[in-house]
Amino acid sequence: MPRLFITFEGGEGSGKSTQLARLARRLAARGIEPVMTREPGGTPLAEGIRSLLLDPARRPGATAEALMMQAARADLVATVIRPALDQGRVVLCDRYDDSTLAYQGAGRGLDDAMLRGWNRTATGGLVPDLTLLFDLDPAVGLARRAGAAGDTNRLDREPSAFHARVRERFLALAREAPARWRVLDATASPEAIEADVWRAVEPRLGG
């Protein structure tokens, strides 16, 4: 079984969660049972933090928000992601530390170097083998979210300029590390995107 850490990034409504599930099914058909998790979340502690972070009734400041994200991340890495990778598993994670650079960095305006340092502390320096970015106009993604869920969380309700900054930061991060990132057109059909995801993942499976 290959040891592989894949993260899924993108704005609200980009379809990354759907594609994570589709990839998991493809891997299972190949005899590989991946570990699926998400940020913030994936552990009882981190899921509790998630509920606080996404609650529209709460308005934590930018620094408090970032530190809550890091606490959830540290717990997830220590109790789920690293142990799975140490066992030679494939781990699929819906968001990871790049989201902090996009949302709390570009979106909220916190210092990039500071956030990178916090990321290293929370993850112990664990870097994904592959990051898939599902790129989409934020207006389209937010419309999808509203139509599918019928409700919105706190991040969904941020102004369009916030979501535009998040998107641009994700694209900039992808340009900085092209060997790790794959940028996918999230306006394509789910089937076409699934095929693109598989083309990015399959060569890394070996055998």
CATH code assigned at 108 = 3.40.50.300
**pLDDT recorded at residue 155:** 77
Q: Which residues are annotated as a binding site?
A: 10-17
CA distance 147 to 159: 18
Q: Which residues are annotated as a binding site for ATP?
A: 10-17
Contacts of residue 26, defined as CB under 8 A and 6 or more positions apart, other chains included, come to 194, 198
Q: Three-class SS string for the chain?
A: CCCEEEEEEECCCCCHHHHHHHHHHHHHHCCCCCEEEECCCCCHHHHHHHHHHHCCCCCCCHHHHHHHHHHHHHHHHHHHHHHHHHCCCEEEEECCHHHHHHHHHHHCCCCHHHHHHHHHHHHCCCCCCEEEEEECCHHHHHHHHHHHHCCCCCCCCCCHHHHHHHHHHHHHHHHHCCCCEEEEECCCCHHHHHHHHHHHHHHHCCC
Q: Using the predicted structure, report yes or no on whether residue 154 has a pLDDT greater than 80.
A: no
**pLDDT recorded at residue 150:** 55
**pLDDT recorded at residue 117:** 98
Instruction: Give the model confidence (pLDDT) of 52-63 as tens digits.
Output: 988 888 889 999
Across all residues in the chain, what is the average pLDDT? 94
CA distance 126 to 112: 18
Instruction: Give the model confidence (pLDDT) of 120-147 as tens digits.
Output: 999 999 999 999 999 999 989 888 877 6
Instruction: Give the model confidence (pLDDT) of 23-55 as tens digits.
Output: 999 999 999 999 999 999 999 999 999 999 888
Split into its structural domains, the chain has a count of: 1
CA distance 162 to 53: 17
Q: Using the predicted structure, report yes or no on whether residue 148 has a pLDDT greater than 80.
A: no
How confident is residue 84, by pLDDT bands cut at 50, 70 and 90?
very high
**pLDDT recorded at residue 206:** 80
Burial of 178 (0-12, 13-18, 19+ CB in 10 A): exposed
Q: Using the predicted structure, report yes or no on whether residue 14 has a pLDDT greater than 80.
A: yes
How confident is residue 207, by pLDDT bands cut at 50, 70 and 90?
low
**pLDDT recorded at residue 54:** 85
Containing domain of residue 74, as a range?
4-204
CA distance 60 to 32: 40
Q: Using the predicted structure, report yes or no on whether residue 79 has a pLDDT greater than 90.
A: yes
